Structures are given as C-alpha cells and as structure tokens.
Structure 1
Amino acid sequence: MVHEDLFARLNEAGYKNWLKAGYCLLKVKDGLWEYVDSEMRIFHNTIIENNTFLQRGQMCRSNCRPRGNQFESACPLCNEWKMEILRHHTKPHCIINWGNCRPWLWSSEHWELAKAFMPRGLADLSRADQCDAAALLNLLHFCDHFSFINPNNVTEVIRCRNELMHSCEMQVSNEWMARFQKNLEQLLLTLRHIPKVAAAGQQIQEMLSVDLSLHIPGVDSVDGATVDGVLIESISQCETELLRESLKDLLNNSELDGNVVPLEKLQNIDRFLSSNKDLEEEFSTELQSLRVLEAKQLQGVNADNAER
C-alpha cells in the first residue's frame, strides 16, 4: 500500500490534530493572499499620493541593498521609502527584516514594500501567493493599513501557528486544538466580508468537525477505495506542505546569530522522519541538514563535558 505509513501516522490522535490544524493554516493562506495583495497595491499607491517626494516617480539609480538585516546607507529615494515603512509599521522599534527587501524596487513593486512587514527569509519571494500563512498574518499585524483588525486576534493565531510548526513531536492535544479553533474563528470573523476568507472559514469548520482519516471536506466519503485514492492523496499533499514549512522554519531559525536549536528537538525530528520511510525519502535533503546541526550540537556538548 503506497500510503501505508501515512495511515499508521493517522492512528495517532495528536498527529491527526497537528495535521488538521496545519490544514486550517493552509486554508487561511488561500483565503487571504488575494485580498492582502489587492490591499497592498492600494497601500502602495496611497503612500505615493500622500508624499510629494515620491510623487515625482523617480526610480532608484544606486541599486540600494540591505547588508544582512541592516539598511543604513541609502539614496534619498530609498531613504524616503524607508521612512514611510517605519511610519506605517505598528512596531517600528522592533527588528524590521530589511533583508527581505529589494529597496530599489519599492517605487514600482508593492510586494517589495509588503515584505518589510514580514518575517525574515522572504527575499526570494516576489508574489503574495508564494507566502505562507505566517507571512501574511505578520503583514496584517505590523502594517497599520490593517489597523481595523484587532491585533490580539492576529497575534494569538500567529502564536498558535508557531507552536504548531515548532512542535518537535508533530503532535498537539485536544485542548490546544480548542484554543486554536477559538482564536482562528475570532480572526476570521473580522474578515468574513471577504468572499474567499468566508469560503476558507467554511472549509476550516468542516475540517475541524470530521475524522481526518475518513473524510476531507469537498470529497465524498464512501468506501475504502476512495479513502485510498483521492482522499489520501489530499491528506498526503497537505502533510508534505506542512512538514516542509516546519522544517524550513527550523533550519532558518538555526541560521540566526546566537540561536541554538535544542539538541533534543533535532533528535526528535530526526527520529520522526527516519522512522517513516516515505518521509525519510521525501525530506532526505532536510534530514541531511538536520544531522549536520545535530553533529555540531553534539560536538559542543562533548567539548563542554571535556572542560568539566
């Protein structure tokens, strides 16, 4: 059976919860990205209309670039855009991920402007549909264009998302799911006037109310053959997307200065992937990177023990 390993994983209630919550976040992304893209076009145009310097329609001729996550030296045009970003950032004194941006495109590309309000690691993305739920939610939180949304609702969903992605066991409890569902419903209620968000909300409600191993919203639950065919392919695709996002988060965080991923977490994820042949094959590259991190961590632990 092609999906035998996946069927076994779905026997674990905590893992099934993890997968269902992740599916909900994928639907949040699907519901939000077109709306957010449209609103950022409006935001970009509004900034230009209200700034006499930017109204001149100039383009950066200096190819201004951040250095890492710092952006201090800039031409007058890019510096003006930088000031506008700070002016419209809800937390301007926090870390702003300038490294996401290509400043010389701020005058012409609305999504380059959007990326200044997002988490790090998005430099290579140029469109809204390439972003995950976390990126879009951070944009809603940190750009004051979306100030009509209760920031507490956004931060709670972001917190749940981070807990989900950083779960080294890939499992969450029923109590966690109840909290996640409540936070998600409160956020989506604010955006229910957006048709695609409303549709995503309906799909989320369906997902949270069914047994994932038997039924996926939009697919008739009939017999074992259907589960083994269309349905299980949908589940498998969802699982792959979630695990890839989780591993990307972990590996990106490990690259931050002074950030050390706990050895136990690395080992748990290694063990999880290695114990499932299908996942071990699918994520062989990521697994290799994990093991490099494990080796470094073990080397550090052994060095500390030797000094004692």
Structure 2
Amino acid sequence: MVHEDLFARLNEAGYKNWLKAGYCLLKVKDGLCGYTDSEMRYFHNTLIKSNSGLQRGQRCRNDCRPRGNQFEYACPLCNEWRREILRHHTKPGGVINWGNCRPCLWPTEHWELAKAYMPRGLANLSRADQCDAAALLNLLNFCDHFSFINQRIITEVIRSRNELMHSCEMQVSNEWMARFQKSLEHLLLTLQHVPEVAAARQQIQEMLSVDLSLHIPGMDCVDGDSDMEVLIESISQCETELLRESLKDLLSNSEVEGNPVPLERMQNVHRFLSSHRDLEEQFRTELQSLRVKETEQLKGVNTDSAKR
C-alpha cells in the first residue's frame, strides 16, 4: 500500500488527534485568506482617505527599511504610516515585527501593511494566500480593524496552534482536542457571515466527526472505496503540510538569539521523523538541517560544562 506507513500512524490516537487539529488549522487558513485580504484592502484605503499625509500617489523617496526588527529612522511619509500602524495596533507597546515590512510599499500595497500585525519571518510574503493560519490569526488579534472579534477567542486558538506546532511527540490528547474544538467553534461562528469561513467550518466539523482509524484495520479496505482513497490522500497532503510548517517553526525559532529551542524537542522531532521511512525520505533536507542544529546545541552544552 502506498500509504501503509501513514495508516500505521493513524492508529495512534494522539497522532491522529494531532493531524486532525492540523487539518482544522489549514481549513481556518483557507477560510480566512480571502476575507482578510479584502478587509485589509478596505482598511488600507480607509487610512489613505482619512489621513491627508497619506494621500494616494505619494512615494517613499529614501527606500526606507527596518534594521533587523527596528524601525526608528524614516522619511516623513513612512513615519506617518508607522504612526497609523501603531495607532491601530491593539498592543502598540509590545513587539512589532517591522522586519516583515517594506515600508516604501505601504502607500500602494495593503498586504505590506498587514504584515506589521503578524509574527516575524514573513518579509518574503506578499499575498494573503502565502500566509499560514498563525499569521492570519495574529492579524485578527493585533489590528483593531477586527476589534469586533473577541480577542480572548482569537488568543485561545493561537495558543492551541502553538501548542500543536511545538508538541515534541506530535500527539495531543482527547481532552486537548475538546478544548481546541470549542475555541475554534467560537471563532468560526463569529465569522459565520463570511462564505469561505462557513465552508471551512463545515469541512472542519466533517473531519472531526470521522474516526479515521476505523477505516484502516486491514489496510486493504481503501482499494475499492474511491471516497476513502480521496480522504486518505487529503490526510496525507495535510500531514506533509503540517509537518513542514512544524519543522519550519522549529528551525526558524532555533535561530532566535536568547530563546533557543530545547535540545530535547529537536531530538524528539528528529527521532520521530527518522523512525518512519516515508517521512525520513520526504523530509531529508529538513532532517539534515535539524542534525546541524542539534550538533551546534550539543557543542554549546559541552562548552558550558567545560567552563564550569
């Protein structure tokens, strides 16, 4: 069977929950993409119309850019955009990822404005459909254009997403799934008027109601069932995307100074991928990067021990 290794993983209850939750987040992204794009286009136009210093057609003449994540020196136009971003930020005193943005494009590109309200590491993205669920959820949380949504609901979904991505064993309990499903339902109901969100909610409900392991006891039942074949193929694609996102989080966070990823987490992820032939082959490049990071951390630990 093509998906024999996946079938074995799906019979692990915790991993099946992890995959289902990841599928839900992918559908949240699908539901939010078009909505956040059109809303930020409207928000961008509203700022231009309401602020004489931002009238359409003006251009940054200095090619202003952040230095790392700092953006303190800019031309008058970019400074005005910076003030507007802060004015509409729900946590203006917190960390704002200016490094995501190309300020010289703020006058013309609404998504460059959106990225100021998102997590770091999105400098190379220019469209809503390139963003993951975490980026779009942070936009809803930190831009006051979406203040009609209860922030507590959004932060609960973000917290669950982070727990899912940072799970060393790629497993979550039934109790965790129940809490996640409840917080997700609250958020999706708030945006039920958006057709794409309503469709995503329906797909999420359908997935959460399926006990995937019940379909896979003999591993041959899928051959004659085209609907099940489609479902398993969809789960396989979801697994790939979810693992890739988790690895991206892991590898990028390991580069943040002062906040290294725990060595145990890297070793557990490495062990998990290496123990499954299909995943080891599929994520060969990422595994190599993970080995390098592990070696660097081990050297650091040994150096610190020697100094003592």
Relative to the length of structure 1, the TM-score reads 0.95
Residue 119 of structure 1 aligns with which residue?
A: 119
Residues 56 and 107 in structure 2, CA contact (< 8 A), matched pair in contact too: no
Q: Distance in 2 between matches of 1:229 and 1:203?
A: 17
Q: Distance in 2 between matches of 1:108 and 1:23?
A: 34
Residue 24 of structure 2 aligns with which residue?
A: 24
Identity %: 79
After superposition, the C-alpha distances for 1:100-149 in whole angstroms (9 at most, x for unaligned) are 00110000000000000000000010000110100000000000000000
SS across alignment from 1:266? helix
Query: How do residues 189-200 of structure 1 correspond to structure 2 at under 5 angstroms?
Result: 189-200=189-200
- What letter is aligned with 1:48? I
Query: How do residues 25-44 of structure 1 correspond to structure 2 at under 5 angstroms?
Result: 25-44=25-44
Residue 281 of structure 2 aligns with which residue?
A: 281
Matched, 1:224 2:235: no
Q: Distance in 1 between matches of 2:304 and 2:44?
A: 52
The Cα shift of 1:297 comes to: 1.4
Q: Distance in 2 between matches of 1:187 and 1:229?
A: 31
Q: Distance in 2 between matches of 1:29 and 1:229?
A: 24
Moved more, 225-234 or 125-134: 225-234
Residues 250 and 266 in structure 2, CA contact (< 8 A), matched pair in contact too: no
Unmatched segments (≥5 aa) in structure 1: 216-221
- What letter is aligned with 1:224? V
Q: Distance in 2 between matches of 1:42 and 1:224?
A: 47
Query: How do residues 49-68 of structure 1 correspond to structure 2 at under 5 angstroms?
Result: 49-55=49-55, 57-68=57-68
Matched, 1:103 2:111: no
Residue 130 of structure 2 aligns with which residue?
A: 130
Unmatched segments (≥5 aa) in structure 2: none
Q: Distance in 2 between matches of 1:10 and 1:56?
A: 53
- What letter is aligned with 1:126? S
Residue 148 of structure 1 aligns with which residue?
A: 148
Query: How do residues 76-95 of structure 1 correspond to structure 2 at under 5 angstroms?
Result: 76-95=76-95
Residue 162 of structure 1 aligns with which residue?
A: 162
The Cα shift of 1:56 comes to: 5.5
SS across alignment from 2:212? coil
Q: Distance in 1 between matches of 2:123 and 2:14?
A: 34
The Cα shift of 1:214 comes to: 5.5
After superposition, the C-alpha distances for 1:134-173 in whole angstroms (9 at most, x for unaligned) are 0000000000000000000000000000000000100000
Residue 219 of structure 1 aligns with which residue?
A: none
Q: Distance in 2 between matches of 1:116 and 1:34?
A: 18
The Cα shift of 1:230 comes to: 2.6
Q: Distance in 1 between matches of 2:130 and 2:213?
A: 28
Moved more, 180-189 or 205-214: 205-214
Residues 20 and 212 in structure 1, CA contact (< 8 A), matched pair in contact too: no
Residue 211 of structure 2 aligns with which residue?
A: 211
Residues 86 and 92 in structure 1, CA contact (< 8 A), matched pair in contact too: yes
Residue 69 of structure 1 aligns with which residue?
A: 69
Residue 218 of structure 1 aligns with which residue?
A: none
The Cα shift of 1:278 comes to: 0.9
The Cα shift of 1:289 comes to: 1.1
SS across alignment from 1:64? coil
Q: Distance in 2 between matches of 1:224 and 1:201?
A: 26
SS across alignment from 1:168? coil
Residue 247 of structure 1 aligns with which residue?
A: 247
Moved more, 35-44 or 297-306: 297-306
The Cα shift of 1:223 comes to: 4.4
The Cα shift of 1:301 comes to: 2.0
SS across alignment from 1:224? coil
Q: Distance in 1 between matches of 2:55 and 2:182?
A: 44
Residues 81 and 106 in structure 2, CA contact (< 8 A), matched pair in contact too: yes
- What letter is aligned with 1:243? L
Q: Distance in 2 between matches of 1:13 and 1:156?
A: 23
- What letter is aligned with 2:168? C
Q: Distance in 1 between matches of 2:221 and 2:295?
A: 47
